[in-house]
Amino acid sequence: MPRLVRWIWILLGLHLTVGAAAYGHYLLTGRYTALSGYFWFCGSAFFLLMTGTESVLAWQCRSWFEPDEPMRLAWSMITLAALSRLTGTVLLVASHWHFPRHGDMVASAAAVDYAQVLSQAGGVVGGPLSMAFLAVGLGRVLGIQRRFGMSGKLTRVDKLLLGLIFTFTVSQLVIIVPLLGSHPPVATMLLWLSDPLLALLLMEAILVRRAMLRVGQGLLARCWGMFVLAIVTTSAGDAAIWASGRNLLSEPMTALSWYIWFLAAAAFACAPAYQLAAVAMAASPVQMDEDRG
């Protein structure tokens, strides 16, 4: 395991250890004090750290490829997806910290409206926009793989997973489509694109990983495997929100489901870290030959 990937998982483990203590306090007391503080402070810091790390690493991956190389465009799109997630996180954190001033009702109302705008913008930029960039990037990788005859085949587990995701997506579309007649806000309609985009992303990421596995269980296969893990956990988080909104989850289970977003953030950060490790390993013999020459 590359050193940077190891550090990401260590940070996730430490972060979840603190989160477990906050969750235990909630279970014992029934109060959200410690849990809210954990998500507001530690959670915000963790998301900013992971999305920032992902953006820097993705940009470095992009820089390894020359402008005329096919993978340059793929990693450009993946970098834009990472930067969108970072921007969305910043906007969401800003909305959480934008408290209205006490004693001034006009200012308070304006502050609440401003926080809602920031939250909606963060959700759209870090959600559908980021997914759209990633979908283009993964599609580019699939095109390159097909060009070199590296297409992968889906396993039964892959088909089962995709079936579950597509079933959930169709069930959401059945609910959403009739609502279009009521002319909902543009931000709401954009957020509705999240589930279809996640289904597309999962299919692309699985196909890319299966093609890489034909070459071997190496760092590149793990890179795209991290994208699969990130997309699956994001889908699980969306499903938990849907279930909670329909009172299908108990209050403790709803609180516990919030933790899955930290795993998704760590997986997204690990993907470019594996790619960088693979490129560095491939470049090492060349650098050694140049040094000897």
Closest CA to 69 of 140, 168, 150: 140
CA dihedral 60, 65, 71, 72 (to 10 degrees): 70
More confident residue, 287 or 166: 166
76 vs 137: CA distance, rounded Å: 7
DSSP one-letter code for 100: P
Which tens digit of pLDDT belongs to each residue from 76-104? 999 999 999 999 999 998 887 755 444 44
CA angle 262, 268, 200 (to 5 degrees): 110
Neighbours of 288 (CB within 10 A): 10
Task: Report which secondary-structure segment, H or E, holds 2.
Answer: none
Structure tokens at 219: 């760092």
Which tens digit of pLDDT belongs to each residue from 200-240? 998 898 888 888 887 666 888 899 899 999 999 998 998 89
Whole-number pLDDT of residue 110? 57
179 vs 176: CA distance, rounded Å: 5
281 vs 3: CA distance, rounded Å: 13
Q: State pTM to two decimals.
A: 0.86
* C-beta of residue 242 within 8 angstroms of C-beta of residue 195: no
DSSP one-letter code for 184: -
Mean pLDDT computed over 143-149: 85
Instruction: Give the CA distances from residue 132 to residues 24, 50, 188, in Å, rounded to whole numbers and listed in that order.
Output: 38, 20, 16
* C-beta of residue 273 within 8 angstroms of C-beta of residue 225: no
Q: Is 271 in a helix, a strand, or coil?
A: helix
Whole-number pLDDT of residue 101? 45
Closest CA to 61 of 279, 218, 282: 279
Which tens digit of pLDDT belongs to each residue from 106-122? 445 555 667 778 888 88
218 vs 277: CA distance, rounded Å: 10
Which tens digit of pLDDT belongs to each residue from 125-136? 999 999 999 999
3-state class percentages of the chain: helix first, strand second, coil last, to nearest 5: 85, 0, 15
51 vs 164: CA distance, rounded Å: 28
Whole-number pLDDT of residue 108? 59
